[in-house]
Structure 1
Amino acid sequence: MTLNDTSKQLNSWSAFGRFFRQEFLPVLTNLRLAIVMFLAIALFSITGTVIEQGQSHAFYQANYPEHPALFGFLTWKVIQVVGLDHVYRTWWFLSLLILFGTSLTACTFTRQLPALKAARRWKFYEEPRQFQKLALSAELETGSLSSLTPLLQKRRYKIFSEPEKDNILYARKGIVGRIGPIIVHIGMVTILLGAIWGTMTGLMAQEMVASGDTFQVQNIIDAGPLAASISKDWSVKVNRFWIDYTPKGGIDQFYSDLSVLDSQGKEIDRKTIFVNQPLRYRGITFYQTDWGIAAVRVRINKSPIFELPMTQLNTKNSGRIWGTWIPTKPDLSAGVSLLARDLQKTLLIYDSTGKLINTMRAGMSAEVNGVTLKVLDVIGSTGLQIKSDPGIPIVYAGFALLMLGVVMSYFSHSQIWALQKDDRLYVGGKTNRAQVAFEQEVLDILDQLNSPTSSEEPSILTEKIS
């Protein structure tokens, strides 16, 4: 490479740097742009909450048909083409998070950090005319820096002075208020990083497990591209599933007693879960979300006990019903249908023509088609939603930083200058917020400086509050 080529390359990089600083960076750190991106993130997050995520193609066709389209435009085709069925993993949503985080980071380095650096620097006022520029200033006939210093220290001001110049003073407090916005930005960026990491590495699964069964997490319905596989050296057993009902027959709460088993079947953890009280193990959370009827145990005359699976029937949104068919002849030429609505163990028996012939409860017997049918038990099944989100601790840490930064931002950064010259004491100050409280504080200090210490009555020559 020749010297001329090197010079051209350096000029190109210099031109790019100027473009970045003068054109791109001001746009990136623009407050209006940040607000627009924040609102867009909030809007799409709401969309991802309202529209079911990670469901099957048939689910969206059934719930978001083309005719009539929801709101006139929202159909299953729009949802799946745009990616509203997996909002948090779409390239455009992740790009929006990255762009917003980049904007916050750029704003922190170009505005907040320089503001903090400027606030940490101090300068002394050595001429009376400098006090005229302050929002609050006063000129006193009496008083001294030595009497002003303890008054400021009592109000937690940090005092700065020069040993060789004993007639000037600078004091400040609330520098933490300048750090607060930086902590807020760090917290928000941390939340965004946690959300992105959780999206890329998290997974979600669903399992419907009968009471008494043991299972391993297999039915994964949604997973990030960097999600790790779930270890197979442990499993979960549903010791028992049950439902508490209200006096009117409605569901009050449903519970699952779960045990985590190691590869030898030894119990290593156990918890009864219900809505909003999940089981957590190895970063995986088991939520109680659904229920069903898995099977029914019956005996015909003196036969062995049969456990027959029950299937949820299509009732066209008129309620949940599970049913099974029970043969009443050895050659399976005749039988009855057994239906149940819930786990209160009330069952309906229908003949082959669809006529209701009997109603019974678990533990009871009935004569049907010339045989004795006894229902011993109705076995429930628990619907579990299983999630792994490694980004949650990062998000929680970000929220903690965000709240800390908000609290810190409420502290006012107050500054006071003083100059003693020609038998006059000049005092002035300014603050970035809580202006009225600051003015009252300064006036109280001036009143104490003005309090009589001799027979001569001191006075304030000039005072300015604007």
Structure 2
Amino acid sequence: MTLDNTTNKTSKLWLNGQRLLPRGFLHLITDLRLAIILLLLIALFSVTGTVIEQGKPPSFYQANYPESPAILGFLSWKVIQLLGLNDVYRTWWFLVLIIFFGISLSACTFTRQLPMLKAAQRWKFYDKPQQFTKLALSAEFNLDQNNYASIEKLSNLLNDCHYKVFPEQQGLLYARKGIIGKIGPIIVHIGIITILLGSIWGALTGFVAQEMIPSGSTFKIKNIVTTGPFAVKPLALDWSVRVNRFWIDYTANGRIDQFYSDMSVLNARGEEVDHKKIFVNEPLRYQGITFYQTSWNIVGVKVQINNSPIFQLPMAEIDKRGKGKLWGTWIPTKSDLSSGVSLVTNDLQGTVSIYNSRGELITILRTGMSTEINGATLKLLDIVGSTGLQIKSDPGIIGVYTGFAILIFGVVISYFSHSQIWALQKDCRLYIGGKTNRAQITFEKEILYIFDQLDYSQEK
């Protein structure tokens, strides 16, 4: 961010002879200290929104942020929900901070940066030798009979150094370059304001949803976590999504390498209109809605007993108190349900462990294998996984990206030095001086080069 506080005078905004804003309010919102405080607050709460998980159900915060003992002595689930720290970026107070910061930047742009740009565009000649002594770099040269056209010679040198030389008057010269550097801070402000507007628009019109969908199922977006007041209603969409298949690739040592979801978008008639295999950091995007691969689960197992039809039994997660994950189910091996076995698995690699009613391991099966249990043939056909999807709609993201591009461009051109050079030829003397707002050493080298090219002897 580029803000300027070089003047003690508060600018006035006028329209048809009437002041638009009270002087005290204008002074407040253009104050550099206020802008810094607002920026720090926005950064602080943005960090909070990164550290504290966003958009989780209340049970998640109750489990992870208990009242006793509270984190840091005060941060409990009640405090999080009271202040809206579970959805920081959509709270009213965060939006107010962004709006106020945007107003401050806009006011600063109109009352300080634009007047400074206009002032930089104005120019005048120096017609008195005393004026050159106030410049950062200045020199005097004696003129002899062979160098009468000294101003013209200097003008040609400045043109070669890419200076814009303004129309000369008799014995006077003014030149400058790098005026674009004065536009840089204004472009930076425009970029920041565009980012803020995009963020606000996204918060008001976007939504976040989470779904856990079994492989082979078709769904519509229902489980909305957060939504803006003007967001599109997902249930009103005339299309749905089918998870054709979910699978996990494992490394040689059995660890998860990547998990994938093969997904199709279906129109109202059930016809496929889009298709993509998604994985972490490679989402599916359709009509402004993005489907991210975030997690997975095991929801069931497909088995066959003797020559029975294939049936799918649900599998429930077994609580291991943070020591990995297990899923299990119970299968009857007799028609009267008097006996049965438990099937337990910890991944989707197609292996289950079978335990009897006493908790003793009977055997281990892989997909497609069968075994004899209690006089019945049990065949393992498949382990059914489900994909965890985070679904987002953020219409303001284009504005945010555009703002970042403008911001980067503004920062780059802000590094252009605004350099100015004056010259006065009077009484057989040539006075040259100049100044710059940055890159002082480079400017000094450039001035010395120009001095060397002039065919005069410098008089100290």
Residue 47 of structure 1 corresponds to which residue in structure 2?
48
Residue 266 of structure 2 corresponds to which residue in structure 1?
261
**Structure 1 letter corresponding to 2:158:** L
Match for 1:378 among 362, 379, 383?
Answer: 383
> 1:138 deviation in Å?
1.1
Name the CA distance, whole Å, in 1 between partners of 2:335 and 2:424. 110
> 1:20 deviation in Å?
4.8
- Provide, for residues 168-226 of structure 1, a one-character-per-residue CA deviation record: whole Å limited to 9, x for no partner: 11111001100000000000011111111111111011111111111111111111111
Name the CA distance, whole Å, in 2 between partners of 1:97 and 1:420. 55
SS in 2 for 1:460: coil
Between 196-205 and 27-36, the greater mean CA deviation after superposition: 27-36
Residue 97 of structure 1 corresponds to which residue in structure 2?
98
Between 309-318 and 44-53, the greater mean CA deviation after superposition: 309-318
Residue 151 of structure 1 corresponds to which residue in structure 2?
157
Tell me whether 1:117 sits opposite 2:118 in the alignment.
yes
Name the CA distance, whole Å, in 2 between partners of 1:21 and 1:129. 42
SS in 2 for 1:186: helix
Name the CA distance, whole Å, in 2 between partners of 1:268 and 1:81. 43
Gap runs ≥5 in structure 1:
1-12, 451-457
Gap runs ≥5 in structure 2:
1-13, 144-148
Inter-CA distance 47–427: structure 2 relative to 1 (3 Å threshold): same
Residue 221 of structure 1 corresponds to which residue in structure 2?
225
Name the CA distance, whole Å, in 1 between partners of 2:247 and 2:20. 66
Alpha-carbon contact 1:202-1:389 (below 8 Å) kept: yes
Q: Give TM-score, length-normalised by structure 1.
A: 0.91
Match for 1:205 among 209, 212, 224?
Answer: 209
Residue 139 of structure 2 corresponds to which residue in structure 1?
138
Residue 61 of structure 1 corresponds to which residue in structure 2?
62
Alpha-carbon contact 1:206-1:221 (below 8 Å) kept: yes
Residue 414 of structure 1 corresponds to which residue in structure 2?
419
Task: Count residues in correspondence.
Answer: 439
Residue 367 of structure 2 corresponds to which residue in structure 1?
362
Residue 146 of structure 2 corresponds to which residue in structure 1?
none
Name the CA distance, whole Å, in 1 between partners of 2:100 and 2:68. 37
Between 398-407 and 81-90, the greater mean CA deviation after superposition: 81-90
- Provide, for residues 211-264 of structure 1, a one-character-per-residue CA deviation record: whole Å limited to 9, x for no partner: 111111111111111111134321111121111111111101011111111122
Q: RMSD value over aligned CA atoms?
A: 1.7
Name the CA distance, whole Å, in 1 between partners of 2:386 and 2:82. 35
Residue 460 of structure 1 corresponds to which residue in structure 2?
458
Inter-CA distance 271–18: structure 2 relative to 1 (3 Å threshold): closer
Name the CA distance, whole Å, in 1 between partners of 2:19 and 2:240. 59
Match for 2:175 among 147, 171, 176?
Answer: 171
- Provide, for residues 7-55 of structure 1, a one-character-per-residue CA deviation record: whole Å limited to 9, x for no partner: xxxxxx99xx889554222222122221121111111001111111122
Between 96-105 and 331-340, the greater mean CA deviation after superposition: 331-340
**Structure 2 letter corresponding to 1:91:** W
Between 428-437 and 32-41, the greater mean CA deviation after superposition: 32-41
- Provide, for residues 52-105 of structure 1, a one-character-per-residue CA deviation record: whole Å limited to 9, x for no partner: 112222211110011111112111111111111111111111111111111111
Name the CA distance, whole Å, in 2 between partners of 1:342 and 1:200. 40
Alpha-carbon contact 1:238-1:258 (below 8 Å) kept: yes
Tell me whether 1:161 sits opposite 2:159 in the alignment.
no
Alpha-carbon contact 1:116-1:178 (below 8 Å) kept: yes
Residue 311 of structure 1 corresponds to which residue in structure 2?
316
Between 281-290 and 64-73, the greater mean CA deviation after superposition: 64-73
Alpha-carbon contact 1:161-1:168 (below 8 Å) kept: no
Tell me whether 1:194 sits opposite 2:198 in the alignment.
yes
Name the CA distance, whole Å, in 1 between partners of 2:129 and 2:167. 17
Name the CA distance, whole Å, in 1 between partners of 2:291 and 2:19. 53
Alpha-carbon contact 1:156-1:173 (below 8 Å) kept: yes
Inter-CA distance 350–194: structure 2 relative to 1 (3 Å threshold): same
Identity %: 65
User: What are the within-5 Å matches in structure 2 for residues 235-314 of structure 1?
Assistant: 235-314=240-319
**Structure 2 letter corresponding to 1:374:** K
Name the CA distance, whole Å, in 2 between partners of 1:21 and 1:421. 50
Name the CA distance, whole Å, in 2 between partners of 1:377 and 1:90. 45
Tell me whether 1:345 sits opposite 2:343 in the alignment.
no
> 1:157 deviation in Å?
0.6
- Provide, for residues 97-119 of structure 1, a one-character-per-residue CA deviation record: whole Å limited to 9, x for no partner: 11111111111111110110000
> 1:353 deviation in Å?
3.0
SS in 2 for 1:342: coil
Q: Give TM-score, length-normalised by structure 2.
A: 0.92
Residue 393 of structure 2 corresponds to which residue in structure 1?
388
Residue 335 of structure 1 corresponds to which residue in structure 2?
340
Name the CA distance, whole Å, in 2 between partners of 1:125 and 1:348. 93
> 1:327 deviation in Å?
1.4
**Structure 2 letter corresponding to 1:65:** P
